[in-house]
Amino acid sequence: MRQLSRRDFVQSMGSLLALPLLRTEEPETILYNGNIWTVDEAQPRAQAVAMRGGRLLAVGSNDDVLPLATARTRKIDLAFKSVLPGFNDAHAHPVSSGVEQLRKVACDIDSIDKIKAALRVRALKTPPGEWVLGFLYDDGKTPRPINRHDLDEAAPDHPVFVHHRGGHTAFVNSMVLQLGQVSDQTPDPPGGRFEHDAAGHLTGFVGDAGMQLFLKLIPNKNTREDYRRAAASISKLFTSTGVTSACDADATPEDVQGYQDARDAGELGIRAYCHVSARSLDHFMAAGIHTGFGDEWVRIGGVKMYADGSISERTAWLSQPYIGIPNNYVGLQLFSREQLYEIGRKAHAAGWQLATHANGDLAIDRILGVYEQIQKELPKKDPRFRIEHCTLLTDALIHRMRELQVIPAPFSCYVYFHGDVMHYYGEERTQHMFPMRSFLDAGLRPTDSSDYTASPSDPMMWLQSQLTRKDMKGNVWGANQRISLQEAIRCGTSNGAYAAFEEGVKGSLQPGQVADLVVLAQDPFKADPSELLKIQVERTMVGGIWKYES
Ligand SMILES: [Zn+2]
C-alpha cells in the first residue's frame, strides 16, 4: 500500500488548512474491489483507494486500505470494474465550443440535404438579414464539401457562415461574400484563402485569415452568463467520456471568467489549464499574472500563438505539396517569425510558458528555431515549451525537440476520426504524422488531445486510434507509430499533467494526488485494441465527487 503520512498530508493541503484538523487521516470515502491501473510506477495495480477532501490518502489492496475506514467512512464497492486516473485533454476548446452549442446549428451530419434542412429551420426563426451560424461541420464526412449554392438554397435571405469543426476554415453563402466585398477577382489575403472552382468562381470555402474578414462582421451577442453555461455544459460532456482535466488552448478573458463563474456556481466539473490568446496577453500581464496563477481547478497556462493552419482542413504548412490539391499547394503560414519571436520573448521573460500551434514540418521548424533562440538569450531551467498539435515531424526535428525537451501535444484520434482526409497526406507522410512511437522513443512526453470541437474529446477513441492507427473504414495510416495501451494511458493522464506543471497534483492514482478517476464497464487491457471505443465509461469522479454516472 502507498499511504500519505500525516506530514505529507499537511504539506499537500497547505499548513493553514490542515493544522486545525485533528483527524486528517480519516477517510471520507473508500472505493474497494476495483481493478485499478494507477499510472504510478511504484505501484501500477491496486484494488482500493481512500480519499478525503478531494485527495487520495491511500492506494493499495483491499486488505491494506479497508481497515483505514471508520464508522463514518462511506465505502463503495466497485464490483471489480476497471479504474483509470481521469483523462487530461491537453488541447481543447471547452468554453468556446460550449458557447457555440448555445447559439449555432450543429452540422455534424453526414448528409448535405439534412444540413441544409437544419439551417433552413434556423433561418425561419431568424429575422431576414441576421446571421445563421453553423458549427461542427466536417467536409470529410459528407459525400462532397458543402458550397455557397447549397447555403444560398438553405437560407437565401440570411448571411450563412458554417464553421468547419477544425476551426480554421468555413463555408459561407453569397450574401456573406457580398457583405465582405469578396468577389471572384479578390486576391487571397496573407495567411488566408478564398477557394475558386475550375471556372474561377468562389466556392464559398474560406481558409484561416480569409475568415477574419467575415468573422468581424458577426455581432457578438454572448453574455457573461453564456460563458458560465458553456463551461457547465462542456463539463458534463467531457466527464461523460472520462475527461477530468482539459487545457483550454486559446482562452479569452471571457472564457477564463466562464470557468470561474461556473466554479463559483458549483457547476465546473473539469479542471481547466487556460492558455491565453496572444492578443489577450497584455491584459493578463498588466495584472501581474503569468503561467501557474490560479489553483487546481482553474489555472492560467501558457501563451498561445499560431505558426500555421490545420491538418483536418488541409491548411497546415508543409514542405511537400498536398496530394490531389492543384498548384503545388503547401498550406498557410499564420504568425510571422518576427511575431512569434517578439510575443514569445516578451512572455518568456515575464514567466509564461510558450504554447504554439504548429502542424506542418515547416511550421514546427520555424517555432523550434524561435524557442531555441529565446532559450539561448534568456535561459530558463524548466521552460516546458509546448508545440500544440506538432503533427508532421522529421528525425532532425525530433532531435531538436529532444535537445530542448519540448512537449508535443498531438491530436490523439485523427487517424481514426479524420482518416477520410489522410489521403491528402499519403501513406508515406502519415508514417511521420502524430508520431507517438518516435516521440516516446526519443524520451519526449507527448500528451493526448482532441482539439475539441476538431475531434471528439473521447479517451477511448484516442487509445484505439493510437494502438491501431486504423481509421473508421479499417485503413491503416502509419502502423510504425503504434504504441502500447500502457503508454497511451500514460500520455492521456500523467503526461497531460506534466505539460501543465501539475504532475505533483494529478495524473496518477497515488497518495497526495487529487481524487480524479474513471470507472469503465470493461477492462481495456483485455479488450481487442480495435474495439476499445466500445468500452463504456460508467462513472467519472473529480475531486472525490461523482461528476458523471451513466
Ligand atoms: Zn486548438
Measure 307 CA to ligand 1 centroid, in angstroms.
12
How far, in Å, is the centroid of ligand 1 from the Cα of 251? 10
Q: 3-state DSSP call for residue 135?
A: strand
CA of 366 to the centre of ligand 1 (A): 19
- Rounded to an integer, what distance in angstroms lies between the CA atom of residue 517 and that of residue 503? 15
Ligand 1: centre distance to CA 386 (Å): 13
Looking at residue 8, its pLDDT comes to 61
CA 272 – ligand 1 centroid, Å: 14
Contacts of 436 by beta carbon, 8 Å cutoff, 6+ apart: 410, 446, 466, 481, 482, 483, 487, 488, 491
pLDDT score of 278: 96
Q: How far is the CA of 32 from the centre of ligand 1 (A)?
A: 38
Q: Taking residues 8-15, what's their average pLDDT?
A: 48
Among candidate residues 182, 177, 132, 129, the one with its CA nearest the CA of residue 157: 129
- What's the pLDDT score for residue 17? 35
Render pLDDT for 123-134 as a digit per residue (tens, 0 to 9): 999 999 999 999
pLDDT over 50 at 515, yes or no:
yes
The confidence score (pLDDT) of residue 11 equals 53
Q: Residue 308 to residues 334, 358, 429, 476: CA-CA distances in angstroms? A: 5, 6, 18, 26
Q: What pLDDT, in 10s, does the model give residues 224-262? A: 999 999 999 999 999 999 999 999 999 999 999 999 999
Quick: pLDDT tens for 129-179. 999 999 999 999 999 999 999 999 999 999 999 999 988 899 999 999 999
Give 529 Cα–ligand 1 centroid separation in angstroms: 27
Cell of 242: 472520462
Expressed in angstroms and rounded, the spacing between residue 40 Cα and the centre of ligand 1 is 29
In this prediction, residue 2 has a pLDDT band, given cuts at 50, 70 and 90, of: confident
Span from the CA of 53 to the centroid of ligand 1 (angstroms): 33
Decide: 341 and 348 in contact? Cβ < 8 Å. Answer: no
- Lowest pLDDT segment from 16-25, 94-103, 146-155, 200-209: 16-25
486 beta partners: none
Distance 456 CA to ligand 1 centre (A): 12
Confidence band, pLDDT 50/70/90 cuts, at residue 3? confident
pLDDT of residue 21: 39
Distance 249 CA to ligand 1 centre (A): 6
Query: What pLDDT, on the 0 to 100 scale, is given for residue 20?
Result: 37
Ligand 1 center from residue 451 Cα (angstroms): 5
Query: What is the distance in A from the centroid of ligand 1 to the CA of 166?
Result: 8
For residue 433, the CA-to-ligand 1 centroid distance in Å is 17
Mean pLDDT of the chain: 95
**How far is ligand 1, taken at its centre, from the CA of residue 304, in Å?**
10
Tell me how far the alpha carbon of residue 91 lies from the centroid of ligand 1, in angstroms: 6
- CA 125 to ligand 1 center in whole angstroms: 31
CA 286 distance to own-chain centroid: 27
Of the spans 15-19, 24-28, 80-84, which averages the highest pLDDT? 80-84
| Residues linked to residue 105 through DSSP beta bridges, in sequence order | 134
Cα of 353 vs centre of ligand 1, distance in Å, is 17
Ligand 1 mean position, distance from CA 388 (Å) = 8
> CA–CA separation, 447 vs 493, rounded Å?
8
Q: How far is the CA of 250 from the centre of ligand 1 (A)?
A: 7
Residues 6+ away with beta carbon under 8 Å from 364: 307, 358, 387, 390, 392, 393, 397
How many whole angstroms from 81 Cα to the centroid of ligand 1?
34
Q: How far is the CA of 257 from the centre of ligand 1 (A)?
A: 19
Q: Residue 232 Cα, ligand 1 centroid: separation in angstroms?
A: 20
Grid cell of 84 as nine digits: 483509470
Could you tell me the distance, in angstroms and rounded to a whole number, from the CA of residue 219 to the centre of ligand 1? 23
What's the gap in Å between 244 CA and the centre of ligand 1? 18
Q: Which residue has the higher pLDDT, 1 or 278?
A: 278
User: 266 CA distance to ligand 1 centroid (A)?
Assistant: 26
- State what percent of residues in the chain have pLDDT above 90: 92
For ligand 1, the distance from its centroid to the CA atom of residue 276, given in whole angstroms, is 12
Ligand 1 center from residue 208 Cα (angstroms): 13
- Residue 426 alpha carbon to ligand 1 centre in Å: 23
Tell me, in angstroms, the distance from the centre of ligand 1 to residue 422's CA.
Answer: 19
Q: What is the pLDDT of residues 56-77, one digit of tens each?
A: 999 999 999 999 999 999 999 9
Neighbours of ion ligand 1 (CB under 5 A): 249, 451
355, 394 Cβ separation under 8 angstroms: no
Tens digit of each residue's pLDDT (9 = 90 or more) over 75-133: 999 999 999 999 999 999 999 999 999 889 999 999 999 999 999 999 999 999 999 99
If you measure from the C-alpha of residue 58 to the centroid of ligand 1, how many angstroms do you get, rounded to a whole number?
37
Q: Which helix (H) or strand (E) holds 389?
A: strand 386-389
Determine the distance separating the centroid of ligand 1 and the alpha carbon of 397, expressed in angstroms. 22
Report the separation in Å between the CA atom of 325 and the middle of ligand 1, taken as the mean of its atom positions: 24
CA of 275 to the centre of ligand 1 (A): 10
Q: What is the reported pTM?
A: 0.91
Say which residue the cell 449554392 belongs to: 149
Q: Please give the distance, rounded to the nearest whole angstrom, from the Cα atom of residue 413 to the centre of ligand 1.
A: 14
Confidence (pLDDT) at 22: 39
Compute, in angstroms, the gap from residue 142 CA to the centroid of ligand 1: 23
* C-alpha of residue 305 to centroid of ligand 1, in Å: 10
